[in-house]
Amino acid sequence: MRNYTDLEKIRLRKLDLLRAAGLEPYPARAERTHTTAETLADYAARRQANPALDRHLPHGAYTVAGRLRSVRVMGKAAFAHLEDAAGRLQLYFRADELGDRFRLFVDAFDLGDFLQATGGLFQTKTGENTLWVRDFRILAKAISPLPTPKEEVAAGQKVVHSAFANPEARYRERYADLAVNAEAREVFRLRARIISALRRFLDGHGFLEVETPILQPLYGGAAARPFVTHHNQLHQDLYLRISFELYLKRLLVGNLERVYEIGRDFRNEGVSFKHNPEFTQLEFYWAYADYEQVMRLTEDMLACVADDVLGTRQITYQGKPISLEPGWPRISLAEAIAEYATIDIAAHPSAEALRLAMQAQGLPVPAAATTRGKLIEGLLGDYVEKRLQQPTFIVDYPRDISPLSKAKRDVPTIVERFEGYIGGMELCNAFTELNDPLDQEQRFLEMHRDYAAGSEDAHPLDEDYLRAMRYGMPPNGGFGMGVDRLTMLLADKSTIREVILFPHLRQKDSDKVVDET
RNA sequence: GGCCCCAUAGCUCAACGGCAGAGCAAGCGCCUCUUAAGCGUUAGGUUGUAGGUUCAAAUCCUACUGGGGUCACCA
């Protein structure tokens, strides 16, 4: 038997009150005719059409449905606010018109209940357009009390009292967060608009949206550890994908030329304000383009998305103004490190020389950095990333940390790769894709040797991908972007958990499944 | 995984070695234009869990659980 709290037991008793009055607490259907926003808009139009309308008497007939968010009972009259997805509407109940039903509203309805109300609109003395309730019924009784933030408008600013603000509770019970925090709902509406704006942009540029396997016999396309699962009947271990790259590029072999996918990647790594074990990625591959063209498309895409969802390219992220206007500076990785870490990496062509130079400057050398590329990557993350607030392309990466990118013609140790940074965060990563099957096989074999030697982020050799490439892959530019991070930027949120509906949290003991025997 | 901080009523928070409290929410009563409605009243707690120190622990110590931050890890 479930242990109900005292508050829940009181509400359970109200179910009987409702049933005794002939109201089913969980009816199958509602009769909504208008949303709250439609109701208010219709009333405003009615008032405009007829300026002589007596605003203190109800006009029109509207049936609205939503959650009860506040109640103010004054003896034989009551005001309440009902909230639906479109907004809020004040309700006005009168005992002299509703009789016993008025008493039922006071006795059996609680904050959080879904109800339906019918009536005309009028304007109160304080000026709020309000539904004069002629009839109402319950649509769904809430047994557990929602958190109860209260809002007021003081000096034009919305002030929330007793906000439901505990991050852990908000993430674990996102449904409650969304139910009481309109701002939380707004973030996910924005997220949906961002994703559809990305689709619109890419569709408009001739890209085909595709879906590739999430369960993969081999993982690849990124330097990350995978989640492992198992197919029982096939007796086969499978990996959850860590990127879409190798499958999307197989499609270029299949003459599809421009493809993209928006979906979930899974990386078995630490969690942080910008890392969730599963996250949403956009990748596209563009035949006959190179990383220069991809850079230009990236600038256009982000400007377009910002226009589309915010109506401006000038955003504020964590108090800092950021311009998403195309024409981002392009800085080579070597220049960026020279500027922010004051090391000339070109002067230190070996891992050992670079390590000594870093030590000579008193810079910490990560123990895991076994190659020159890893050391450079460390410098980028430690000294450069946070400094790049305005949109910036860092270009030209070391070959040994970029096994899928094409080398620059004149500098074989550098590849044609860029990463886009905004707000001190890496947002996207792209390159001129390596399409030489023999070169690719060499790179894989190098990685494979590392893998056999126990290096954690090297990968098993994907023979099928090489077979595909041997059929011929057009030259192409590829691109990957964290959609969650883009949402953080445009929603001005400092942590990825604010833009993921159900971010991963450690399981609590109280939520673990207990054996009911 | 390291370090720092946090966990008290359904929610938001006090009490910081000496009787565990407030506001909101809830119950009861009053109130026919309120909007953080108001007035009166009642109930609500194994202070995250388990130990320890102490005459006395929400408070100090240890471990554990969960969270936040930070570092490490992370194309």
Residue A97 in this model has a pLDDT that exceeds 70: yes
Strand B and A89 CB separated by under 7 Å: no
Please tell me whether residues A20 and A127 are part of one structural domain. yes
| ipTM (interface predicted TM) | 0.90
- Using one digit for the tens of pLDDT, what is the confidence trace for A152-178? 887 777 888 888 888 888 998 999 999
- Using one digit for the tens of pLDDT, what is the confidence trace for A174-233? 999 999 999 899 999 999 999 999 999 999 999 999 999 999 999 988 888 888 999 999
pLDDT at A346: 86
Give residue numbers, 114 to 143 of A, with CB < 7 Å from strand B: 122, 124-128, 130
The domain in which residue A20 lies consists of 6-145
Please tell me whether residues A296 and A372 are part of one structural domain. no
Please tell me whether residues A290 and A224 are part of one structural domain. yes
Q: Is residue A150 assigned to a domain?
A: no
Please tell me whether residues A320 and A341 are part of one structural domain. no
Q: For chain A, how many structural domains are there in total?
A: 3
Weakest-pLDDT range from A153-157, A298-302, A345-349: A153-157
| DSSP per-residue letters across A161-200 | ES----HHHHHHTHHHHHHH-HHHHHHHHHHHHHHHHHHH
Strand B and A338 CB separated by under 7 Å: no
- Using one digit for the tens of pLDDT, what is the confidence trace for A349-389? 888 888 888 888 877 777 666 778 888 888 898 889 888 99
Q: How many CA atoms lie within 13 A of A65 on its CB side?
A: 11
Mean pLDDT of chain A, nearest integer = 91
Q: Is residue A109 assigned to a domain?
A: yes
Please tell me whether residues A204 and A110 are part of one structural domain. no
- Using one digit for the tens of pLDDT, what is the confidence trace for A391-401? 999 999 998 88
Residue A297 in this model has a pLDDT that exceeds 60: yes
Strand B and A277 CB separated by under 7 Å: no
Strand B and A4 CB separated by under 7 Å: no
Distance A181 CA to B11 C1' (A): 13
* Strand A392-398, strand A414-422: pairing: antiparallel
Strand B and A403 CB separated by under 7 Å: yes
Q: Where are the beta strands (DSSP E) in A223-376?
A: 228-231, 236-240, 258-266, 278-287, 314-317, 320-323, 330-332
Please tell me whether residues A104 and A194 are part of one structural domain. no
Tracing tokens 């139009």 back to the chain, one arrives at A45
Residue A515 in this model has a pLDDT that exceeds 60: no
Report, as an integer, the average pLDDT of A455-463: 70
Nearest residue to A92 via CA among A134, A138, A44, A141: A134
Smallest CA–C1' distance to B30, residue: A75
Percent above pLDDT 70 for chain A? 95
Please tell me whether residues A89 and A217 are part of one structural domain. no
Please tell me whether residues A210 and A347 are part of one structural domain. no
Smallest CA–C1' distance to B74, residue: A269
- Using one digit for the tens of pLDDT, what is the confidence trace for A241-292? 999 999 999 999 999 999 999 999 999 888 888 899 999 999 999 999 999 9
Asked whether the beta carbons of A134 and A120 are under 8 A apart, the reply is yes
